[in-house]
A and B are shown apart, each in its own frame.
Chain A
Amino acid sequence: EAQVTQNPRYLITVTGKKLTVTCSQNMNHEYMSWYRQDPGLGLRQIYYSMNVEVTDKGDVPEGYKVSRKEKRNFPLILESPSPNQTSLYFCASSFVGQGAGNTIYFGEGSWLTVV
C-alpha cells in the first residue's frame, strides 16, 4: 500500500530538547516536503526536497532543519524547540514533473507540543 509514514504521531517535549520527526514514503517519490498546520493560518510549507541531497526552504523554515540522505526518508529536525513550534506537522511526497502522476500524498500528521 502506498504510504507516507510519520513518527512519532504524538509528542510532548520541553523547550530546548532536540527532537526529530521522521517521514518515510514507499512510492519512490523524488519530492518530499514538510508542512505545519495552525489554527487560523492553515497549512504552511516548512521545507521541501527535490531529490536526495537537494533541499530548500519553504515559507516558514525558521527553527527547523531537514536532511535527505535517502530517497525514501525526509526527517524534520528541531534543534532547540520552542513553544511557538507547537503545531500539527504533515509530511508529503510526490513525483516531480507535470501530469497526473504528480499528485501529492500526505502522512497522517504528528502532533507536537513544546512546553
Chain B
Amino acid sequence: DAKTTQPPSMDCAEGRAANLPCNHSTISGNEYVYWYRQIHSQGPQYIIHGLKNNETNEMASLIITEDRKSSTLILPHATLRDTAVYYCIVRVMLLTGGGNKLTFGTGTQLKVEL
C-alpha cells in the first residue's frame, strides 16, 4: 500500500470546518483513500472513503485532487466530540485477505476547542 503523510496535529475552533490534509503521492490506480478516527483509545471508527471522485456522507466530505496524490477530509462543523486522531489510509481492494489489512500511520491529532 502507498505511504501517507499527515501533519501530526491541528487545532480547530468549535463550529468551524476542520480541514485535514493527507499526502499520498505514490498512490496507485487501484488504491482507495480511507479515513478513520480514533477517540482516546476507543476502536478506530470508519469515516469515509473514495477512489477518485469527491465523496460526502453524514460525517464528513472527502476531496481528492485530480491527480489523486493528495486528499482533504472536511468536518463541516467541528464539535468538541470530534477531538480525535484522524488516520488517512491508502488501501488496495483485493479479493484476498491481504487487501483487508489497514496500515495505520501516526495520523493527525485534531483538537477542537471552544
Contacts and interface: CB of A to CB of B under 8 A. Distances in A.
Interface stretch (B21-29, B62-70, B91-99): B91-99
A43 B43 contact: no
A49 B105 CA distance: 23
Contact of A108 (B42, B94, B96, B105): B42
Q: Which of B49, B95, B100, B101: most chain A CB closer than 10 A?
A: B100
Given A42-B105, A103-B46, A104-B46, A50 B97 contact: yes
B106 to A, nearest CB: 6
A43 B97 contact: no
Chain B interface, >50% SS class: loop
Interface residues of A, number: 31
A102 interface: yes
A4 to B, nearest CB: 7
Q: How large is the interface on B (under 10, 10 to 19, 20 to 34, 35 or more residues)?
A: 10 to 19
Interface string A79-115: 0000000001010101011111011111111010000
A31 interface: yes
Interface in A43-71: 43, 45, 48-50, 54, 56, 58
Interface of B: 41-46, 49, 93-97, 100-102, 104-106
Interface of A: 4, 31, 33, 37, 42-43, 45, 48-50, 54, 56, 58, 88, 90, 92, 94, 96-100, 102-109, 111
24 contacts: A4-B43, A33-B101, A42-B104, A42-B105, A42-B106, A43-B44, A43-B102, A43-B104, A48-B100, A49-B97, A50-B97, A54-B97, A56-B97, A90-B43, A92-B43, A96-B95, A96-B97, A98-B93, A103-B49, A106-B44, A106-B45, A107-B43, A109-B41, A111-B41
* Top 4 A-B residue pairs of the complex, sorted by shortest distance between their CB atoms: A106-B43, A98-B93, A50-B97, A43-B104
Given A43-B102, A104-B46, 6 more contacts: A31-B100, A54-B97, A58-B101, A98-B95, A100-B49, A104-B102
